[in-house]
Amino acid sequence: MATTPLGIIMHGVTGRMGMNQHLIRSIVAIRQAGGVTLANGDKVMPDPILIGRNAEKIEALAKAHGIARFGTNLDAALANRGDTVFFDAGTTQMRPTLLAQAIRAGKHVYCEKPIATNLNEAVEVCRLAQASGLKHGAVQDKLFLPGLRKLDLLRRAGFFGRMLSVRIEFGYWVFEGDLQPIQRPSWNYRAEDGGGIILDMVCHWRYVLDNLFGQVKSVSCLGATHIPQRWDEAGRPYAATADDAAYATFQLEGHQGEPVIAQVNSSWTTRVRRDDLVTFHVDGTHGSAVAGLTDCRAQSRVTTPRPVWNPDVRQTMPFFEQWQEVPDTQVHENGFKLQWEAFIRHVVEDAPYRWTLPEGAKGVQLVEAALQSWKERRWIDVPPLPL
């Protein structure tokens, strides 16, 4: 059994997502486990080089996790033929340029979402990647959540019958910064810096809806900036110019022309009183299910109770107790790590891989449609991606 190193340029991993999910819980975890196992039993060992603008921060991060290579010179890293994969988790505004630079340098590319802030740039980098013959991928981590994998198991088993509707509730209260420290970076709330919950979350909802519930056909969306002033990392007040909540309805391709209706609320200005920070409630003719990040509960047609509406009497029916938990039948590893392993196999042994840059571009397409709907206050159709 042979072990082969795979040089990976990791850019933008000093940020919250890049550091925690991609570096520590994915690449470092893979290295600690002895690498990625290929179909023939051989191993691939990720050999990352961390690249960022802050030399001290990059060096400290690398040394803390046993990574020997780090630096601030991206051009030099891209010129090294020994590093064949480029990964970006930096700012969305710079992503298309960086991906194009890496592709022209002959690197396979993998990146966080959104892959761009607008569809034209997303399509352009997709076309460049497709013409290059190189491997490419975009993060679609929510498909690997244990709760959604259980929900998908129910779907594939035919549990729902004809699917009718989906309700997604996502969000929590992000502190303004005056009384409590902020828990998300301040640029998230400045449109001029690429902020906004529509840009951030609708990309996720596109691949979740497409893969689990039906292809998105149209959208009606209303955005809002509920908190007009926030305080940044240094405690300075600033004007919040980006949307911090979005209320959207999607029509999905259903069975025999009957659409599936998806209602999706995304908010950084809501306080949580539900099972999880995000919940997915699916109703079908034969059953319903509600999933969170890890758990999933179901109620079949024959076990559906008969509630009685009587506003003069306190409700005694224990609704939450009338659902059956979908059991854990396998170990669910970190979703980011699982997708990294799949992409590495795709690069090294050409294993099947469907979460490509065009799939990421579909998310950007839906973002633009949602923003257009908000601006024009009407339904917007979502055509096939122009690729």
pLDDT tens profile 259-275: 999 999 999 999 999 99
pLDDT for position 121: 97
The helix or strand, by DSSP H or E, that contains position 110, with its residue range, turns out to be: strand 108-111
DSSP states of 195-262 as a string? --HHHHHHHHHHHHHHHHT--EEEEEEEEE----EEE-TTS-EEE--S--EEEEEEEEEEETTEEEEE
Omega before 114 cis (within 30°)? yes
Which among 32, 1, 31, 26 has a CA at the least distance from the CA of 13?
A: 26
Coil, helix or strand for 10? strand
Q: What is the domain-level CATH number for residue 316?
A: 3.30.360.10
pLDDT for position 332: 86
Output the six-digit token pair for 36. Answer: 């990625």
Q: Which residues of 233-243 are buried (b: 16+ CB within 10 A; e: fewer)?
A: eeeeeeebebb
> Do 88 and 124 fall within a single domain?
yes
Looking at the chain, the whole-number percentage of residues with pLDDT higher than 90 is: 95
pLDDT for position 247: 98
> pLDDT for 134-154, tens place per residue?
999 999 999 999 999 999 999
> Do 135 and 176 fall within a single domain?
no
pLDDT band at 281 (very low <50, low <70, confident <90, very high): very high
Is 257 a residue whose pLDDT tops 90?
no
> Do 156 and 120 fall within a single domain?
no
pLDDT band at 330 (very low <50, low <70, confident <90, very high): confident
> Looking at the domain assignment, is residue 378 inside a domain?
no
DSSP alpha helices (H): ranges in 48-172?
A: 55-64, 74-79, 95-104, 119-132, 146-156
pLDDT for position 6: 98
* Mean pLDDT of all residues in 33-37: 97
pLDDT band at 1 (very low <50, low <70, confident <90, very high): confident
> Do 33 and 44 fall within a single domain?
yes
Rounded Cα distance, 359 and 380, in Å = 20
pLDDT for position 387: 86
Lowest mean pLDDT, pick from 13-17, 226-230, 266-270, 356-360:
13-17
Please, are residues 3 and 42 in contact by the beta-carbon 8 Å criterion? Answer: yes
Residues whose CB is less than 8 angstroms from the CB of residue 319 and which lie 6 or more positions away in sequence, other chains included? 307
Q: Which residues of 117-153 are buried (b: 16+ CB within 10 A; e: fewer)?
A: bbbebbbbbbebbeeeebbbbbbbbbbbbbbbbbbbe
> Do 129 and 193 fall within a single domain?
no
**Residue 19 carries which DSSP code?**
I
> Looking at the domain assignment, is residue 381 inside a domain?
no
> pLDDT for 160-170, tens place per residue?
999 999 999 99
Domain that holds residue 61: 3-140+335-354
pLDDT for position 377: 98
pLDDT band at 287 (very low <50, low <70, confident <90, very high): very high
pLDDT for position 331: 84
Total domains in the chain come to 2
> Do 135 and 194 fall within a single domain?
no
> Looking at the domain assignment, is residue 279 inside a domain?
yes
Is 57 a residue whose pLDDT tops 90?
yes
> Looking at the domain assignment, is residue 380 inside a domain?
no
> Looking at the domain assignment, is residue 31 inside a domain?
yes
> Do 20 and 52 fall within a single domain?
yes
> Do 220 and 261 fall within a single domain?
yes
> Looking at the domain assignment, is residue 387 inside a domain?
no
* Mean pLDDT of all residues in 192-203: 95
Q: What is the domain-level CATH number for residue 114?
A: 3.40.50.720
> Can you tell me which residue has the tokens 């029509």?
251
Residues whose CB is less than 8 angstroms from the CB of residue 331 and which lie 6 or more positions away in sequence, other chains included? none
* Mean pLDDT of all residues in 68-73: 97
> Do 75 and 130 fall within a single domain?
yes
> Do 325 and 219 fall within a single domain?
yes
> Do 327 and 194 fall within a single domain?
yes
> Looking at the domain assignment, is residue 385 inside a domain?
no
Mean pLDDT of the chain: 96
pLDDT band at 255 (very low <50, low <70, confident <90, very high): confident
> Looking at the domain assignment, is residue 359 inside a domain?
no
> Do 176 and 310 fall within a single domain?
yes
* Mean pLDDT of all residues in 37-41: 96
Helix axis angle, 119-132 relative to 357-376, nearest 10°? 170
Is 16 a residue whose pLDDT tops 90?
no
* Mean pLDDT of all residues in 306-327: 94
